[in-house]
Amino acid sequence: MSGLSETERAGCTKLLQSLSKDDVFSLSDTVTNKLIVVENVTEAIGAIITFTENAEEFLKRKKVHRDLIFKYLANEGVVMPPNSEKNKLVKRTLELWSSGKVGTGSGLELVLGQQFCQWFFPLLNSQNPSLGQPPQDWGPKHFWPDAKLCLLSRAGSEQMEEFLGAELVSLRLLALTRDEQVLLSPNLEPQGLRTLASPHGLVLVAVAGTIHRDGACLGVFEQIFGLIRSPLENNSWKIKFVNLKIRGQDSLAGAETAAPTLTYNSTELQLLFS
């Protein structure tokens, strides 16, 4: 039914999530000729996406106003002159969608991902005595009380460990750097870092990188963090879950470890929102 590509569907959904509830319902009625009864905003957005023939038709609708498209583009890292007319913004959005370079979090979300990694990894690495630095303030306070850690390591054999609760998660990650004396070096270039935000406040930061000990590269890692703001603590971000996958040098079969890239795609990451 829908004539939209996957990239266009994702873009249209993002724009619709910025509209007021009334506007979404009204647009759903218009697009479906009131043939579909929707119960909530999620169903309304689904109906609009399904019955939209093409992206240009969607972007030109009255309810999808100029400022909305302008903000969307800014969020995707596309800077347009503030006085751009709507048809210029529509054209630029269609170009962006057809290029497929969307949802890599190139805008504000990527900045959040980078800032988080630039805070988290130096903090964790500072616990490693081989660095000869005073350890920074690590502890369970950076995690939600029901935080969860899944640690999958592949070095020869495969090992899976799970930890529940801020205290245990914090201690297991601490053991990596303090006791096992490893250093995690994230690749903060676009191919090594991806950030996705759900409309419900959960932000996923996925990052790839290399693992070192005493100057030697031991292998690569991929780590996904689920972050949620804590309204009680100045709206600071706290970690809800961590999935850490470590592959030792021997299981890489000579793969490039200089700048590891993420193997997760956006669809796989979005499954973590459910």
Q: What percentage of residues in the chain have a pLDDT greater than 90?
A: 45
Q: Is 97 left (phi over 0), alpha (psi -120 to 50) or beta?
A: alpha
Work out the number of other CB atoms within 10 angstroms of the CB of residue 224: 21
Domain boundaries, given as residue ranges, for the chain: 6-99, 108-273
CB-based contact 127:178 (threshold 8 Å): yes
221: helix, strand or coil: strand
76: helix, strand or coil: coil
Cα distance between residue 169 and residue 174, in whole Å: 9
Sign of CA dihedral 213, 138, 113, 266: positive
Say which residue the tokens 């709206």 belong to: 235
* pLDDT band at residue 265 under the 50/70/90 scheme: low
Cα distance between residue 165 and residue 93, in whole Å: 43
**pLDDT tens-digit readout, 129-187:** 998 889 999 999 999 999 999 999 887 788 999 999 999 999 999 999 999 999 999 99
Q: Is pLDDT at 248 greater than 60 in this prediction? A: yes
**For the residues 45-63, what does the mean pLDDT come to?**
91
In CATH terms, the fold of domain 108-273 is Nuclear Transport Factor 2; Chain: A, (3.10.450)
Say which residue the tokens 């979300």 belong to: 109
Instruction: Quote the pLDDT of residue 273.
Output: 63
Bridge-based pairing of strands 203-213 and 183-186 is antiparallel
Token pair, residue 208, equals 């790839």
Cα distance between residue 226 and residue 197, in whole Å: 10
